[in-house]
Amino acid sequence: MRHGEKHEVETVDHPDMASVKTEHGVPDDLRSCHTMIADGYVIEGHVPSTDVERLLAERPEWVQGLAVAGMPLGSPGMEAGGRTQAYQVIAFGNGRREIFASYP
């Protein structure tokens, strides 16, 4: 996968997003407003596309997905007049968590 590469996307409005998040193992404290399934991985919240691309390129065995909890200012889609908040992208899976990326 190359940066800027176009992908086919299907939008599904699910009546019970909590069950989708549970089914894909998103921990309660990492849940956010958006959920995406990308090639078997769950992407939760405002995760930068470069981190999704990195996940799909590296494919760490233990990772079920990536999450950005909440909606931090400055994260993709949350740009607000140049204001930013520090946030982390968390890789999770099988009871394990690791910081995948940090943004100041």
Judge whether 56 lies within some domain.
yes
Judge whether 4 lies within some domain.
no
Judge whether 37 lies within some domain.
yes
Judge whether 34 lies within some domain.
yes
Enter the pTM of the model. 0.83
Number of domains in the chain: 1
> Which structure tokens are listed for 13?
């409005």
Judge whether 49 lies within some domain.
yes
Residues 6+ apart with CB under 8 A from 34: 44, 45, 46
pLDDT at 4: 58
Judge whether 8 lies within some domain.
no
pLDDT at 95: 92
Tens of each residue's pLDDT in the chain, 104 residues: 455 566 676 677 777 888 888 988 999 999 998 899 999 999 999 999 999 999 999 999 999 999 999 888 778 878 877 788 899 999 999 999 999 999 98
The whole domain housing 88 covers 17-103
Judge whether 71 lies within some domain.
yes
Judge whether 5 lies within some domain.
no
